[in-house]
Amino acid sequence: MQEWVANSNEAVSLRLVRDPKDENYKDLVGVKGDRQALEPFHPTFTYPIFGDKEVIFGYKGLKVRIDMASGSLREYLSITYREKINSTATPADDIEGILYKFIPSNYTKNAKTFAETVQTDADSFVPPGEKIAAYAPIQQIANEPVEYGIYKCTWNTPGFREFHRRAQLFILLYIEAGSYIQEDEDEWEFLMIFETRTRASTSATTKTTKSYHFVGYVSAYPFWCYPDNIRLRLSQFVILPPYQGKGHGSQLYNALWNHISDRQEVSELTIEDPSEHFEDLRDRNDLTRLRKLLGQSKELLAGAPVDKAWMERTRKKLKYAKRQFLRIIEIMLLEQLKYKQDDPSAYKALRLQVKERLYRFNYEILSQLEPDERKQKLQETYANVEEDYKRLLASTEAVGSGNSKTGRWKWIDA
């Protein structure tokens, strides 16, 4: 029966569809003909939909296409196959019935209707919400201006609830253990990125209009924090595959920080179960941010051990979670050591500061070990931490030289 089993990650494909007039931009197709932004892409995970084994049973040559209008994300569903099993004992999976539980019911299976939707969206779709920031490539291609707008939404934003019901599918497909959030929890906040293009208008009254294409989004939930503040927890963060690896994740993360920096009611930004990839993005951007804010502070320049009272005051002022702030301080101290290579006492002081944090963080486990075993375990943990810090420092060196992905962009007036 194995010939009737298809890997659902391979059988399912998605595509962000633009109006044909929007598909010939040079920075979309690339000078070498790279059409990544226009081509189908596969999900990373499908187990929330098709089960833990990520298989679909009952078909040969199966292809499940979910095309989406690149702006509004309105869906077109196509299910094709060479052969379907004919058995009442082991019937084929009801693919459309399964998907129906996860996508809005107003999708279409008519290709012509979908093409008309894409064309209409190109002229009329506008992102929901308030535009709070924008950025653009440092080097624009002549006659092809593009910018990326960041829009703030809540459940009360007109049109957003319907849009989110389509966008949330990406959470299941690209975030491990991702799940849909409850719409009856009114406090959720969202930031979305849309690519903005200037295009020729089909209207007789205007020469140009703008078309918008969804890039990704972040959701955050506020928790009450004594006495009268909130702790904002970043919950879901996704950049769509055609836009990954280009620095958009960093732009969205930094936009969130800029957005909360001036909000007096927000005392701290925390992250819910970050993946390793997101942890790296977070660390690189936090390091860059704190370099600018604290790089010349006398408390850090003096080296380890850094005054604990100063760190706590500064952490609260900058709204960082405690563990993350202490980690970034440690990375900055390690970075300073390259200027003190002939000072073993400075390295020892840093090592002791890091080990103290590690001991406190892992106290319940370490306190049960014998002293010699505890020292060995702490040293092993420290060595791994230092190695990871050095890796992060190496990955951020390109920021200063302008060769990094985040160095491709500049913030512009929203």
Who has greater pLDDT, 24 or 308? 308
Output the pLDDT for position 397: 78
What is d(CA 92, CA 88) in angstroms, rounded to the nearest whole number? 9
Q: State CA 20 to chain mean position distance.
A: 28
Output the pLDDT for position 34: 58
What is d(CA 108, CA 76) in angstroms, rounded to the nearest whole number? 5
What is d(CA 171, CA 411) in angstroms, rounded to the nearest whole number? 27
Q: Reply yes or no on whether the pLDDT at 277 is more than 90.
A: yes
Q: Reply yes or no on whether the pLDDT at 171 is more than 60.
A: yes
Output the pLDDT for position 140: 81
Let me know: does 72 contact 121? Beta carbons within 8 Å: yes
- Between the alpha carbon of residue 11 and those of residues 78, 108, 170, 257, 263, the distances in Å are 12, 19, 16, 38, 45
- Residue 404 annotated as part of some ligand binding site: no
Is residue 272 among the annotated active site residues? Answer: yes
What is d(CA 122, CA 130) in angstroms, rounded to the nearest whole number? 20
The pLDDT tens digits of the residues spanning 364-377 come to 999 999 999 999 99
Q: Reply yes or no on whether the pLDDT at 411 is more than 70.
A: yes
- Residue 247 annotated as part of some ligand binding site: yes
- Between the alpha carbon of residue 7 and those of residues 4, 77, 99, 100, the distances in Å are 10, 18, 16, 19
Mean pLDDT of 177-192: 96
Helix (H) or strand (E) holding 99: helix 95-99
Contacts of 219 (CB under 8 A, 6+ apart): 181, 188, 189, 190, 234, 235, 236, 237
- Residue 165 annotated as part of some ligand binding site: no
Look at residues 255, 320, 260, 264 and name the one whose alpha carbon lies nearest to residue 294.
Answer: 320
- Residue 284 annotated as part of some ligand binding site: yes
- Residue 250 annotated as part of some ligand binding site: yes
Output the pLDDT for position 393: 94
Beta strands in 42-118 (DSSP E): 55-57, 59-60, 63-69, 75-80, 83-84
Mean pLDDT of 207-234: 92
Among candidate residues 96, 183, 272, 380, the one labeled active-site is 272
Who has greater pLDDT, 410 or 203? 410
- pLDDT band at residue 205 under the 50/70/90 scheme: low
Output the pLDDT for position 332: 96
- 2-273 fold: Histone Acetyltransferase; domain 1 (3.90.360)
The pLDDT tens digits of the residues spanning 185-197 come to 999 999 999 999 9
- pLDDT band at residue 408 under the 50/70/90 scheme: confident
Mean pLDDT of 18-39: 75
Output the pLDDT for position 401: 42
Report which residue type is found at 62. L
Show contacts of 157-160: CB within 8 Å, 24+ apart: 157/128, 157/129, 157/130, 158/128, 159/128, 160/128, 160/129, 160/190
- pLDDT band at residue 30 under the 50/70/90 scheme: low
- Residue 159 annotated as part of some ligand binding site: no
What is d(CA 100, CA 173) in angstroms, rounded to the nearest whole number? 15
Q: Can you give the residue ranges of every domain in the chain?
A: 2-273, 290-403
Q: What is the pTM of this model?
A: 0.93
227 DSSP 8-state letter = T
Who has greater pLDDT, 168 or 201? 168
Q: Mean pLDDT over all residues of the chain? A: 92
